[in-house]
Amino acid sequence: MTGESRVRVFPGVGLLLMAVSLAAHSASGSRYDVNSDRPGHQPEKYYWRPGPPIKNNDGTWTFQPRTSIGEPMPDMPTRMERMIRKVQFRLVKALEAQETGGKKFQLHRTNRTKGSGESVMYVLQSGDVFEKAGVGVSVARHTLPPKIAQQMRARGKDVDEGSPFISVGISCIIHPRNPMVPAIHFNYRYFEVKGRNGSTQWWFGGGTDLTPYYLDEGDALAFHSTLKKICDKYEKGSYEKFKRNCDSYFTIAHRNETRGIGGIFFDDLTTPDQKLAFAFVKSCAKAVVPLYLPLVRKHKYYKWNSTERKWQLIRRGRYIEFNLIYDRGTKYGLQSTVTIIENVFMAAPPKAIWEYKYEPQAGSREADLMEVLRHPRDWA
């Protein structure tokens, strides 16, 4: 079956499909399958199953194209897409469970008008816990615009304007309402492009970073320690390198401060091979829920005041400054011919303020945070 469909599964049909699947399995001897997050699904009992589902605004579910046991191992863009759709689904459900007022994400699904591919964006706005949150999956197949081709050549890529490419990625930003709950951002992506000589060039990129408004050292230690464990399994010393990358990348140079307390950030990742690089990216993406949800549960009931809210909005202003002036993802989105412009600015917080020459009082909790932002600390 190709394409996608909205379905109602009837018991008799399900048994018939299982019988066909098991017969095919017996004939082929293959045990390759794809895990699924389909509600009520029992992966260990089936050899044939749909891909990750998408919940529509009307309450129905859209299931991705099915993969049978007789198919060969899918290519890396397909594997990446399946993985990030599962991460998206799990994160959306986990965040909705934290909303005390029952606020739900809304689905915004867009087919690209140029080239091919699609964007699947879940957005939650004006929640009791999350003032704004977006979790988007994007798949694009097109040709490189001139500016992006030039930027890639500056990074050592052997590409030309018009080179065909495919990009697959997930991006998320969460702006909590409570100033004691930190904001979090992550994105993980795979890029594949045909080089000048016809060869395929590929790489992974991404990272996860935390932006608190008030510093909780226990939170910072737990966050960075978890990331270090993941990185150490991939390659000893990689956490230290990726953490430095993160501090450097998220520096607001004109303010001489970082956007938050960092995390990890990497690009052009191709080592040691595609399989192991993908396994590392998958581990990082899957870690977001266990990294972030404990921090939300810990702080979401804190009774904040107007002074703390004002500080949160000032720091959000810095967040916007970084995204508009320095962020490569924003620049790429504005230069790309396959961009969905609303997705480019999804990361912007819903409210922010700028106060002329504002400086926190010495010895205050706000000043404690600024000390760490101006002098990044090694947490793990």
The answer to whether 51 touches 82, Cβ cutoff 8 Å, is: yes
* Structure tokens belonging to residue 24: 């095919």
The answer to whether 184 touches 340, Cβ cutoff 8 Å, is: no
Q: Residue 166's closest CA among 268, 86, 76?
A: 76
Q: Which of the following is catalytic: 25, 142, 175, 185? A: 185
Residue 185 among the catalytic residues: yes
| Residues annotated catalytic, as ranges | 185
